[in-house]
Homo-oligomer: A and B are copies of this chain.
Amino acid sequence: MSPTITEVDVYDIRFPTSEQLDGSDAMNPDPDYSAAYVMLRTDSPGGLAGYGLCFTIGRGNDVVAAAIATLRPYVVGRSVDSVTGDLGAFYRLLTHDSQLRWLGPEKGVMHMAAGAVVNAAWDLAARQAGLPVWELLAGMSPEQLVDMVDFRYLSDALTRDEALEILRRAEPGRAARAAELRRHGYPAYTTEPGWIGYSDDKLTRLSKEAVAAGFRQIKLKVGGDLDDDLRRMRLARDAVGPDIRIAVDANQRWDVADAVGWMRALAPFDPYWIEEPTSPDDVLAHAAIRAGQPVPVATGEHVANRVVFKQLLQAGAVDFVQIDAARVAGVNENIAILLLAAKFGVPVCPHAGGVGLCELVQHLSMFDYVAVSGSWDDRVIEYVPHLHEHFTDPVVMDHGRYRAPAAPGFSARIVPESLADYRYPDGPVWQARQELTR
């Protein structure tokens, strides 16, 4: 008999990263990397459970936790099999509650909360199957995979039949690509050298270290001050040489004219892409920026849902699609986005970092490689070396590549000690900080 999901535990976990300026950029000067963390508990004697999370940067992490709690009635008391046996229906259930949908629709806090629970259900399904999520996905038939997708609002760009065709085209090579992945891992790039709060010396040193560690691409945060950016870009280019890609990231700092002017000025240093030049809602501005200057455009970490990704592709507004594992409504919506990107022939280079985003999103890129786009050309997953020690199955970086995870699940389970220590506001780490500021 199938075990039952007995509770949705929600944790407000925050790490005081603002102390080190790790993660600082032009829009986010002092983030405290945080997770609204979900555990789907079951009554299985073996302790079967599902783990998921939503990433935030501090304040408001409790609001996401409250949003997750509103989804309890859809989960608690259900048999594990009824959830994991039809993850497409489960995803639609969480995103189609007519009253909760009013709070978006399909965007912001409520949508991120649904994503955390959907991802936890995928973790549960993968643990049950004894497979990492990427292998669980890569083992599903094209018909099963399209059943995971909500095609509402997509049909003017991608129909169910077109999605099926994309997946069927990639079927023959699946086994060979999975073997490649296990052998070589998936290409990564590192954002480590380029946080805006780092000194020039630190930037130069970390850029050189990144190349020595095997990375072929690094990323710099820009958009604070043009003279600073020109100097930092020159330092980085000098440090890594002409053959290493340097992407730049403005974190939504600009209007169209700013972005065009700034990127024309940086263009001589050969930036590989300009990421988030402006508002993530602004499809038309991204298209104008792409047309107005020579550097390819990337965006996605803050794109609210599949409908906005669809338009970015329809409008020819992006050269790279940057999915995020925990911004949209989980694996299901990301399958839709991977299919849209494949339809338009645009490579997917995920956003990661934060808390657990590397752990989660590697599975989606690996699934894309095996069963959707069938390619890793021009594709890289972001890598940031922080906070992995808090996970039971942390990512493994091997000469600038993500090693393919072998452990069952979605890799987003946090170790019990960290859950206890960093719980906000009552965990010992935060209690100690409160006493310091008293």
Chain A interfacial positions (CB closer than 8 Å to B): 27-32, 56-60, 62-64, 66-67, 70, 97-112, 152-156, 252, 255-257, 278-285, 288, 302, 304-305, 307-308, 310-311, 314-315
Given contacts A99-B32, A256-B155, whether A280 and B105 have CB atoms under 8 Å apart is: yes
Given contacts A62-B70, A156-B285, A255-B156, whether A28 and B102 have CB atoms under 8 Å apart is: yes
Out of B31, B63, B70, B255, name the residue touching A70 (CB < 8 Å): B63
A156 to chain B, nearest CB (A): 4
List B contacts of A59 (CB < 8 A): 70, 97, 99-100
A26 to chain B, nearest CB (A): 10
List B contacts of A288 (CB < 8 A): 156
Query: In the bound complex, what is the Cα–Cα distance between A42 and B229 (angstroms)?
Result: 46
Return the chain B residue nearest A32 by Cβ.
Answer: B99
Q: In the complex, are the beta carbons of B99 and A58 less than 8 A apart? A: yes
Given contacts A103-B108, A103-B112, A104-B108, whether A281 and B305 have CB atoms under 8 Å apart is: yes
A116 to chain B, nearest CB (A): 13
List B contacts of A110 (CB < 8 A): 60, 63, 108-109
Q: In the complex, are the beta carbons of B29 and A98 less than 8 A apart? A: yes
Out of B98, B278, B283, name the residue touching A28 (CB < 8 Å): B98
Q: In the complex, are the beta carbons of A153 and B255 less than 8 A apart? A: yes
Q: In the complex, are the beta carbons of B278 and A153 less than 8 A apart? A: yes
Q: In the complex, are the beta carbons of B307 and A105 less than 8 A apart? A: no
List B contacts of A30 (CB < 8 A): 98-99
Sampled A-B contacts (21; CB under 8 Å):
A29-B98, A30-B99, A31-B98, A31-B102, A57-B98, A59-B99, A60-B67, A60-B70, A60-B100, A60-B110, A62-B66, A63-B67, A67-B109, A107-B108, A107-B304, A108-B108, A109-B110, A152-B279, A156-B285, A279-B307, A304-B304
Q: In the complex, are the beta carbons of A105 and B252 less than 8 A apart? A: yes
List B contacts of A57 (CB < 8 A): 98-99, 102
Given contacts A57-B99, A105-B252, whether A308 and B281 have CB atoms under 8 Å apart is: yes
Query: In the bound complex, what is the Cα–Cα distance between A255 and B62 (angstroms)?
Result: 35
A59 to chain B, nearest CB (A): 4
List B contacts of A98 (CB < 8 A): 27-31, 57
Q: In the complex, are the beta carbons of A279 and B60 less than 8 A apart? A: no
Return the chain B residue nearest A96 by Cβ.
Answer: B27
Q: In the complex, are the beta carbons of A107 and B66 less than 8 A apart? A: no
